[in-house]
Chain A
Amino acid sequence: MSQVFSPFKQFFELVAGDAKACDRRPSMVLYMKALLGPSRFSSVFLFRVDSALHDKGLPWSLLAKLARRWNRLWNNFEISEGARIGPGMYLPHPFGVVIGRISAGSNLIILQNATFGLKDIRFDYQDSSHYPRLGDNVTVGAGAAVLGNIAIGDGAVIGANAVVITDVPAGCRAVGNPARVIPPRTSLLCTSDAELAFEPSAAIDLRGAD
């Protein structure tokens, strides 16, 4: 991210970007609804509230803690307040997603049951240098686990149930357990029956499966 990330100052920009990613018009009514009920926008909105307020001292930090607990309760979505994620974050189904102190660019899409965390539990969980760093327009598939001090490039796609512990260059796909990186396609024509169209949610290339 090019500018200094300040979730408090940029709160409304971030939240407007997230609302647009959910195909909703950013408005106060939407934000009120996000505070009141479980919805796909509410998971991200509560995270934005938490990350904006958590270091502002009492009583705002209590409000931030409440937002975090509310998120965990209503949306089953757990995200650390130290996560620095750009605008346009979208979680179609926030269930089971646990996110540590990662940093990510804009337009991040995370599917259900994904995990972003430490690779080794002996590391300090409060040190963001041990967590993944994601670029812009990354899509993380259902059930994926993205662990450790790795860099996921812009436009990368992480397949369903992948376990990613190595860097993923821009535009590539990472599939399997442990994840192997598949470079971006050079041509749009399918060269074999087993080739699949580019798919963000699964991203499995059968050529690699023997």
Chain B
Amino acid sequence: MFSHMKPFFELLQEDAKAYGRERLTVSFFITSLFGLNTFSAVFLYRLGSVLIHKGMPWAALAKVISKYNYWWNSCEIRPHARIGPGFHVPHPIGVHIGPISAGRNLIVHQNASLVLKDRRLHHLDPHAFPSFGDNVVVGPNAMVLGGVVIGDDVMIGAGAVVHTDVPAGCRAVGNPARIIPPRTPSIRTDAEGASEKFVAVS
């Protein structure tokens, strides 16, 4: 009976691993359901994303779950978003995620917005929202606007405002964001490296 829910549980397991929790337990589920830990934001989003495409009344329940997520965790993650396993939101405060598509291991920090650039476009049109590859990290207070394509292994720095595509492996920092190509393997300590949020040791 639960076989069709197996992919859902696998997804949750990957997310919990990204959160730092190796095993899923019933108590963990219950605390996540009631917003008592920070995994709750991702958990409630996953619940909503499963239900939103199942027609009424499950879609209405998905909307209620989404509202509930907003009240308890102050984060707005649309259930229409398609985000791969390993989704991690360390602090869900102020996170706004539209109906984006993202690969594995997306990490989004607080007050980040992955939203429309032009508000005249429809709020559920996935082409108007960014799409992300695997292993993308979005820093705090960053904005990724519009239908841009963010490649794999990209780091978006704190406070960056990204409105253009970011190729794989690059970093995007600043307002408006400038793209820094992947660096050679060394630890940067000079002033040029100080402009980046993350010290990449590749």
Q: Which residues of A contact B (CB under 8 A)?
A: 69, 72-73, 76-78, 95-98, 113, 115, 117, 119-122, 143, 145, 147, 161-163, 165-166, 177-178
Q: Dominant SS at the A interface?
A: loop
Report B168-202 residues with CB < 8 Å from chain A CB.
173-175, 194-201
What's the minimum C-beta distance from B161 to chain A, rounded to whole angstroms? 9
Contact, CB under 8 Å: A119 / B197: yes
What's the minimum C-beta distance from A55 to chain B, rounded to whole angstroms? 19
Instruction: Provide the residues of chain B in CB contact with A161, threshold 8 Å.
Output: 141, 159, 175
Instruction: Provide the residues of chain A in CB contact with B60, threshold 8 Å.
Output: none
Docked CA distance A143–B160 (Å):
12
Instruction: Provide the residues of chain A in CB contact with B86, threshold 8 Å.
Output: none
- Cβ proximity bits B93-113 to A, threshold 8 Å, 1 near / 0 not: 110000000000001011100
**Chain B residue total in the interface (Cβ 8 A):** 30
What's the minimum C-beta distance from A77 to chain B, rounded to whole angstroms? 8
Contact, CB under 8 Å: B139 / A177: no
* Given A113-B94, A115-B140, A121-B198: A177 in contact with B174 (beta carbons within 8 A): yes
* Given A78-B93, A165-B197, A178-B195: A145 in contact with B173 (beta carbons within 8 A): no
Contact, CB under 8 Å: B93 / A163: no
Instruction: Provide the residues of chain A in CB contact with B200, threshold 8 Å.
Output: 120
Instruction: Provide the residues of chain B in CB contact with A121, threshold 8 Å.
Output: 107, 137, 198
Instruction: Provide the residues of chain B in CB contact with A165, threshold 8 Å.
Output: 194-197
B91, B195, B197 pick with most chain A CB within 10 angstroms: B197
- Cβ proximity bits B68-99 to A, threshold 8 Å, 1 near / 0 not: 00001010000000000000000101100000
In-complex Cβ contact of A73 among B72, B110, B158, B199 (8 A): B72
Contact, CB under 8 Å: B158 / A163: yes
Count CB-based A-B contacts (< 8 Å): 82
Report 30 cross-chain contacts, Cβ distance below 8 Å, ordered by A residue: A69-B36, A73-B35, A73-B72, A77-B93, A78-B91, A95-B94, A96-B93, A96-B111, A113-B111, A115-B140, A115-B141, A119-B198, A120-B199, A120-B200, A122-B201, A143-B159, A145-B139, A145-B141, A145-B158, A145-B197, A161-B159, A163-B141, A163-B197, A165-B196, A177-B158, A177-B160, A177-B174, A178-B174, A178-B195, A178-B196
Instruction: Provide the residues of chain B in CB contact with A113, threshold 8 Å.
Output: 94, 111, 141
Instruction: Provide the residues of chain B in CB contact with A69, threshold 8 Å.
Output: 36
Q: Which residues of B contact A (CB under 8 A)?
A: 35-36, 72, 74, 91, 93-94, 107, 109-111, 137, 139-141, 157-160, 173-175, 194-201
In-complex Cβ contact of A147 among B93, B94, B197 (8 A): B197
Instruction: Provide the residues of chain A in CB contact with B74, threshold 8 Å.
Output: 76, 95-96
In-complex Cβ contact of A98 among B36, B140, B197 (8 A): B140
Docked CA distance A32–B139 (Å):
37
Docked CA distance A119–B197 (Å):
6
Contact, CB under 8 Å: A177 / B111: no
Closest chain B residue to A178, Cβ basis: B195
Instruction: Provide the residues of chain A in CB contact with B140, threshold 8 Å.
Output: 98, 115, 117, 145
